[in-house]
């Protein structure tokens, strides 16, 4: 392998795959990246055996080939190189790095020692979705996901595929978020509806690396999910087991609806939450006045309360929440006002925009 590449292109490629590289003492090859030169492209790949990410960047390929090199060493080197162009060449199993004023030799590993990156063989059926829409849907839902050893079927993000839309859903059993992608933002060639749950780490990486203006192609089979975009290929195992029937817990009716200004509520939660101590408990109270009262106290700190003007429809109620969980759901809507659908202190609360947006968030109260 012999290539000439811009430092910035090489850095972009390494940064894209860097979080997939781990710290593995038993399998040192997983601490490395595969650099492969083909045609006029340089492919940089990393894997942790459950997730594989490949970033393609442009370079002048003089001689094709590939080599596996330690990520940490190469990344540190590239970040500190001062010149614009970098020459990479393999010699005797080493990667020779040269610039105008710098030269280094990194011990490498043969390409055949790098784990085989799986793929989806059936490419006849796929979904094409706007990168910006997918990125937004993922960012709004992954906040509700959490890896669970007891319930591995919820340790990721569900892609609920229907003919004209995709629902992206995540839950940790205390909260749940759903975002829809539909209309011109999605094109589906799958002949049937289906459900695919992608591990949380893969969903997080996908949200990070896809471009707003890219068109993302999504393929899947019984064991793997593949996402392809402009210069990006991410393949992940899918989670076995059926994602729970979350529609059963979505409130069909609301006892008390509270509409408040989003920024005011965010500010109030941050203020009162600072007095909540380790419990993170903030109480939301609605009395006979048209206001929402937030309050928190801790024996070692003190107590405080904050009043938010509100439009209220329904009876008086007092509910206790983990304020950070509540804040997560409210932050994800960018509209001026937010609606809280309260159903007492033991049933789920529905958080959504006061406008008609394709997103909602469900949070269980803390029993007082």
Q: What percent of the chain has pLDDT over 90?
A: 84
Compute the distance between CA of residue 199 and CA of residue 145 in angstroms, rounded to an integer.
9
Condensed to tens digits (0 to 9), the pLDDT of residues 181-234 reads 998 899 999 888 889 999 999 999 999 999 999 999 999 988 999 999 999 999
Compute the distance between CA of residue 147 and CA of residue 23 in angstroms, rounded to an integer.
19
Domains delineated in the chain = 2-113 (3.10.150.10), 127-247 (3.10.150.10), 250-363 (3.10.150.10)
Condensed to tens digits (0 to 9), the pLDDT of residues 247-256 reads 998 999 999 9
According to DSSP, the residues that pair with 282 across neighbouring strands are 321
pLDDT band at residue 124 using 50, 70 and 90 as cut-offs: confident
Average pLDDT estimate for 329-355: 91
Residue 25 has pLDDT above 70, yes or no: no
Average pLDDT estimate for 319-327: 96
Residue 319 has pLDDT above 90, yes or no: yes
Q: What is the pLDDT of residue 238?
A: 95
Compute the distance between CA of residue 191 and CA of residue 125 in angstroms, rounded to an integer.
8
According to DSSP, the residues that pair with 69 across neighbouring strands are 33
Lowest mean pLDDT, pick from 24-28, 30-34, 124-128, 291-295: 24-28
Contacts of 350 (CB under 8 A, 6+ apart): 250, 251, 254, 339, 340, 341, 343, 360, 361, 362
Compute the distance between CA of residue 288 and CA of residue 229 in angstroms, rounded to an integer.
54
Compute the distance between CA of residue 42 and CA of residue 13 in angstroms, rounded to an integer.
9
> Hey, how many other C-beta atoms are within 10 angstroms of the C-beta on 286?
21
Q: What's the longest Cα–Cα distance across the chain?
A: 80
Q: Mean pLDDT across the chain, nearest whole number?
A: 93
Among 310, 304, 368, 296, smallest CA distance to 340 is for 310
Condensed to tens digits (0 to 9), the pLDDT of residues 70-113 reads 999 999 999 999 999 999 999 999 999 999 999 999 999 999 99
Question: 3-state DSSP call for residue 253?
Answer: coil
According to DSSP, the residues that pair with 128 across neighbouring strands are 187, 217
Q: For the chain, how big is the Rg over CA atoms in Å?
A: 25
Compute the distance between CA of residue 250 and CA of residue 284 in angstroms, rounded to an integer.
21
Residue 181, token pair as written in the block: 């992608």
Condensed to tens digits (0 to 9), the pLDDT of residues 261-300 reads 999 999 999 999 999 988 999 999 998 778 999 999 998 8
Compute the distance between CA of residue 294 and CA of residue 318 in angstroms, rounded to an integer.
10
pLDDT band at residue 368 using 50, 70 and 90 as cut-offs: low
Q: What is the pLDDT of residue 192?
A: 83
pTM score, whole prediction: 0.91
């Amino acid at each position: 392998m012999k290539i000439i590449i811009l430092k910035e292109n090489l850095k972009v490629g390494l940064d894209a795959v860097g979080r997939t590289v781990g710290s593995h003492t038993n399998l040192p090859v997983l601490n490395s990246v595969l650099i492969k030169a083909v045609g006029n492209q340089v492919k940089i790949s990393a894997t942790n055996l459950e997730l594989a990410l490949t970033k393609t960047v442009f370079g002048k390929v003089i001689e094709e080939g590939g080599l596996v090199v330690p990520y940490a060493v190469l990344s540190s080197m590239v970040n500190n190189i001062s010149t614009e162009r970098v020459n990479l060449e393999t010699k005797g199993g080493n990667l020779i790095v040269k610039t105008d004023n710098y030269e280094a030799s990194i011990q490498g590993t043969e390409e055949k020692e790098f784990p085989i990156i799986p793929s989806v063989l059936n490419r006849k059926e796929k979904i094409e979705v706007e990168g910006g829409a997918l990125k937004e849907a993922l960012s709004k839902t992954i906040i509700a996901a959490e890896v669970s050893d007891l319930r591995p079927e919820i340790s990721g993000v569900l892609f609920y595929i229907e003919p004209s839309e995709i629902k992206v859903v995540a839950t940790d059993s205390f909260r749940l978020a759903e975002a829809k992608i539909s209309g011109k933002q999605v094109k589906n060639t799958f002949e049937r509806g289906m459900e695919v749950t992608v591990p949380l780490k893969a969903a997080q990486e996908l949200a990070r690396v896809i471009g707003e203006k890219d068109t993302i192609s999504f393929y899947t089979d019984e064991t793997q999910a593949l996402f392809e975009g402009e210069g990006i290929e991410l393949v992940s195992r899918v989670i076995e087991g059926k994602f729970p029937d979350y529609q059963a817990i979505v409130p069909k009716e609301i006892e008390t609806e509270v509409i408040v200004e989003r920024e005011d509520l965010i500010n109030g939660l941050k203020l009162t939450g600072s007095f909540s101590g380790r419990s993170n408990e903030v109480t939301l109270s609605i009395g006979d006045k048209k206001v929402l009262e937030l309050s928190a106290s801790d024996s070692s700190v003190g107590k405080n309360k904050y009043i938010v003007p509100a439009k209220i429809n329904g009876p008086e109620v007092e509910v206790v929440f983990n304020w950070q969980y509540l804040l997560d759901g409210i932050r994800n809507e960018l509209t001026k006002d937010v609606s809280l659908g309260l159903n007492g202190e033991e049933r789920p609360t529905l958080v959504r925009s006061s406008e008609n947006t394709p997103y909602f968030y469900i949070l269980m109260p803390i029993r007082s």
